[in-house]
Amino acid sequence: MGHRASRRPMGVGPVAAGAAGVRRRRHRRWTVGAAAAAIALVGAGCIPEPPVEEPPAEPPVTSLSVSTAPAEMFPEFSPDVSDYVVRCANVPFDVRVEAPDAQPISVGGNPAQTGRFTVSVWRAEGQRFTIVDQGAARTYSVRCLPGDFPEFTVTREGTPQAGHYLIAPIQFTAAGFQPTYAVVFDAHGVPVWWSRQSSIFLQQLPNGNLAWTRWNGEAAEEIGLDGSVITTIEAPHPYPGTAFDFHDMIRLANGNYMIVLNEELPNQDLSIIDPSLADVPVFDHRLVEIDPATGDILWSWLASDHIDVAETDPQWYGYVRNRPDMSLGTPLYDIFHWNSVEETPTGYLLSFRHLDAVYAIERATGDVEWKLGGVDVPGDSLVISGDSRFPGPGFGGQHDARYLPGASATQFEVTLYDNGSDLAAPRTPRALRYIVHTLGFLTDRFGATGIDTVAGTATLVEEIFDLTHAPVSPFAGSARRLAGGNWMIGFGGTNGFSETTPSGEVVFHLSIDGGQLVYRALPAVPGLDPAALRAGMDAQHP
């Protein structure tokens, strides 16, 4: 992708501030001892009185400069950047300012000054102080990062289209994946909102609130920027023995939530995968719509009722056989492995890793409208063109399938993140966009009462790689096309995400250091107000 100049990673050091005192420093270039000796000689009449030398004048300050010590604030100060962070060591630290005469600067509420001066400040973790430029009528915010906040590295070339990026890194430990923080970064790579949570991914809902799913089958939550829990979404009681699936959750246009519950399906014949699996329990997925006001289930759909085990991609047979899912407390064979849901005008778009396919489900009937990728099913599978991996290996454990409106109800777009997870030979991960045509695509999946008189098609029109940062992506991931045409790609199973142009040039990349991994990285809803993020953090850290 070409050479990129990287900003320094956030090191360990102080943060944010409060006003303690103001020290103005002046330096003389002659000593008290030298002066006393000169006076003595003059008094004795030995030598004439020397002229008094004034120290050289400091050059005038011509532009505003701000820095901190001993820890450096991130990023380096620029008048165009409003938000900064510094790692807090719970001790006072210095804010060093150079201010032109026309730009009086107030630090942490202290009286405004010009020239060169230093202010000692202190804040607790999460708190902030301000730097007010009275000349330019502009305020800068500096917030204290927690000591255990993950280190990160930012590369920025060009102008990103996304205003903010949302991630929830996970730490891989001997005990498995452990969530750390849910974070909102701005387009300069500054963490401007965060919360310690056991969340696997963070998203912004259409109503502006944030939401996350909990790790290991716990409830999901919709939250305000002030950290308050607005709604808790739990596994409904009518389905005992189920667990909330953390992979995805969406808020529907009608205000309800769509989630997926995992449950056991006993006595299934998986002999197509292995002859020894002729009567075994399966890890099944139930898609449910929940009314947040009552907790009632308004609609449900069970994967095993509509998708046959024969559609499990053969490349996953060994994985299914040797790595049963244990999240419900007993070994269950994971033949589907659902990982995303999206609302469409007629129903829902679902992605299944172990099927290597995306399915469109009709809400009215529960039937499969069409299928993109995976094992070919006559009458369901779209004919794919323009994609060099079809025919051939096809998708490899894809994630994050999304619907975009198109020219009509039968011509629209589908985007997805193709991990390229071929278990024999991994391929390069890709962000993909297809134009889908479904006109005349009429089928009855199991009854064969209709045929596809005009085969549905999917034509690949965009394929984005980032070989520099993600030559492989073993699991998870996301790909979202921005309104301006750029892409935000979360490289699942790696430590970073990128924003790229349609031609694949990286304009922004952020990596989380210290062994942490990205499940998804998502753009914020356009219009997310930085002032609202600051106010939300202030409410959490008064």
Tokens for 81, please give them.
């950047």
* Residue 386: predicted pLDDT: 96
* Residue 413: predicted pLDDT: 97
Query: How far lies 136's CA from each of 60, 66, 73, 77, 103, in Å?
Result: 18, 15, 21, 15, 7
Instruction: Please state which CATH number belongs to domain 152-540.
Output: 2.120.10.30
Q: How far apart are CA 502 and CA 499, in angstroms?
A: 10
Worst-scoring range by mean pLDDT, 52-61, 222-231, 303-312? Answer: 52-61
Average pLDDT over every residue of 73-98:
95
Asked if pLDDT for residue 451 goes beyond 70, the answer is no
Asked if pLDDT for residue 12 goes beyond 60, the answer is no
Backbone angles phi, psi at 444, to 5 degrees: -130, 110
Worst-scoring range by mean pLDDT, 16-25, 106-115, 205-214, 313-322? Answer: 16-25
pLDDT tens digits, one per residue of 272-323: 999 999 999 999 999 999 999 888 999 999 999 999 999 999 999 999 999 9
Q: Which helix (H) or strand (E) holds 362?
A: strand 357-362
Q: How far apart are CA 92 and CA 73, in angstroms?
A: 14
Asked if pLDDT for residue 205 goes beyond 50, the answer is yes
> Which residues are within 8 A (CB) of 291 and not within 5 positions of it... i.e. 6 or more apart?
256, 298
* Residue 539: predicted pLDDT: 98
pLDDT tens digits, one per residue of 147-185: 999 999 999 999 999 999 999 998 877 776 777 899 999
DSSP state of 305: G
Asked if pLDDT for residue 372 goes beyond 70, the answer is yes
Backbone angles phi, psi at 39, to 5 degrees: -65, -40
- Each residue of 428-450: b (16+ CB within 10 Å) or e? bbbbbbbbbbbeebebebeeeee
Domain parsing of the chain, residue ranges: 21-145, 152-540
Backbone angles phi, psi at 4, to 5 degrees: -135, 140
Query: How far lies 178's CA from each of 214, 242, 257, in Å?
Result: 11, 22, 26
